[in-house]
Structure 1
Amino acid sequence: ADIEAEARALKLVRERITLCRRDIAKMIATGIEEAVPTRRGGQGPADWQEVHAAFRAMVAQIPRTATRQEIEPIADELSQLADEALDLLEAHIQSKNPSANEAHSERHIQNSNPDSLIDLEPSLREGRAARAEPKSQPSRVAENSYPLGTVLNACPDIVDYAKGGISDWRDFVATAAVVRSMLGISPTAWEEAQTVMGEMQAAVVVAYILQRGTTIRSAGGYLRGLTRKAEVGEFSLGPILMSQINSRLHKERRA
């Protein structure tokens, strides 16, 4: 009975971590797209990229196999970060609409609906939807690209940042455009990568950089390096996707 109780408790902590990860990712995306200030009275993070870096550092600490005692502190850290991010969004909403009632301040962190945070304010949802549209809709997958399912199998973390999930390449490219800002990739580096690699392949590279987390110190520099290789025909998506899939499979077997 004690073993079963501990297993249930461990499962609940892991579910708590999963919910926090999804909610934090969506709140960071909203904060960046709506240009929500993060520093109040000279205190707090400088920008949302800094919040995202802290978030990714916490996620990197999560082991594949661990006891409840080992992951509970990480769950607590993520919960605190989620509360702080939500406070920033709520303060922004209040500043835009002083008459907003308490319904806008209701805590959504433990809500199992991954889109719940988008309901903080209708104007935020509409603004995000308008700006999430890519400049040009991809008409087809490039001949040297891989199926979307394969890409998501290799780089699943990007799904956490999607407003309503990723069901096609259009969703994927739009989400990658948001993520690249979080990673600190400059607009010029992003545009250059899209020009050289193509819209979808550049988006896949961004998803890969996100998945690698803290192992890639300079996301912008890494993307520029791959863009240079792509210019001279020395870059292919296949090796990085396959290595990522093999790495995930290896970790799952060990777990």
Structure 2
Amino acid sequence: MQTHTPTTPFGRRTMSLGMMANQAVAKTVPEGAQVHKWNVFHSIREAREPLGATDRSLSILNALLSFHPETELTGNGELIVWPSNEQLMARANGMPATTLRRHLAVLVDSGLIIRRDSPNGKRFARKGRGGQVEQAYGFDLSPIVARAEEFQELADTVRAEKKALRVAKERLTLLRRDVVKLIETGLEENVPGNWGRVHQTYQAIVGRLPRSAPRQLVEDICCDLHGLYMEIIEVLESFAKTQNPDANESHSGRHIQNSNPDSISESEYGSRNKEEVGGSAAETGNVRSLPKRELPLGIVLDACPNLSELTQGGDIRHWRDFLAAAELARPMLAISPSAWRDACEVMGDQHAAITLAAIYQRTDQINSAGGYLRSLTDKARDGKFSTWPMIMALLRAKLDADKSTRKADHQPPSGEGRLEVSEALLKSLKKPRS
């Protein structure tokens, strides 16, 4: 008895060229081909994204494979299964009928199964007298055998891509950690360089990273970060090689760079008038006796509170935040990029930013901030200027103003709103003038 293998689906389902191509591939199954259906299913599960399958559709494919009695699928064997929708829904953990039909269509479109619909759309098998299947209508599993090698290659490619993405993410994490900590090292050790700008560059690079990034984008960002990392390493290593361990004084034993190591005991305030610098020569004599050490950020912010107004929320917690605020203040003071660059090269980024903050604090008393900064840069180049006396003068002026205000209002000293300084610093500021 002659039989006909149906090609088109039943009812309103349409036929497409893609379905015809999938059926053509299924016909290329070699007669001696034999595959383990669960091994192939594992490969399909790994390669579901490039195949266009979903997790729900794969649960249906798993149920369809379970209806085939043999574990090994052969090219010359019967590869059509004919379970009813009720049986499929039961083995698919109670999936609704509408969801079942939708994901069966996904399996057909992905070329993982082929519909072999009967004239009335029912699924069944006609058997002969010996019990052998003569004609079956249902779902053809021949693509599982015909495309087994393709599925394996796709799975290997997906696994390799996942490994490459994992390695790229590990590299990205290491580069981000190294760059951030090296920038902090440059700031803490006063290494010459525009570290505020370096930090902005880092933020611009990592800002391109979305929550879920493809491997190529991660690798591109890694390349940019590696270039930034190599620039920072080169600067830090070059600076470390030029340092003499006994050249600079350090409170904590670190060799912190100061553009003019011997300038701490000198001050340009001796040659500036009170209107410009906010401190007299006698006050300079008092602050000269302060210990030679780096200025803490808290003291600088107490002396120059106006700079905090430029930051979002008025919060400056780290030196990098202070440098970023100084970058915002520079154009407001009409200081040219060349004057700022010279100051950073001579004084170092941190001390240049402290100088700019002091200028910004007394901007109403300085006619030309740019010219004043260039003058201080020239003095620093000759070893005749440091930021410590400048900050101490601002602190003393603030203390005196606070004292005068309390006397005028006949109010006792109050902790609220007062400038808090250490006892040692207060004693130093109250030393008798020479």
TM, length-normalised to structure 2: 0.27
Q: Which has the higher contact order (CA 8 A, sep 6+)?
A: 1
Q: Which structure's residues are more often helix, by fraction?
A: 1
Give 1 or 2 for the bigger CA radius of gyration.
2
TM, length-normalised to structure 1: 0.45
Q: Which structure's residues are more often strand, by fraction?
A: 2
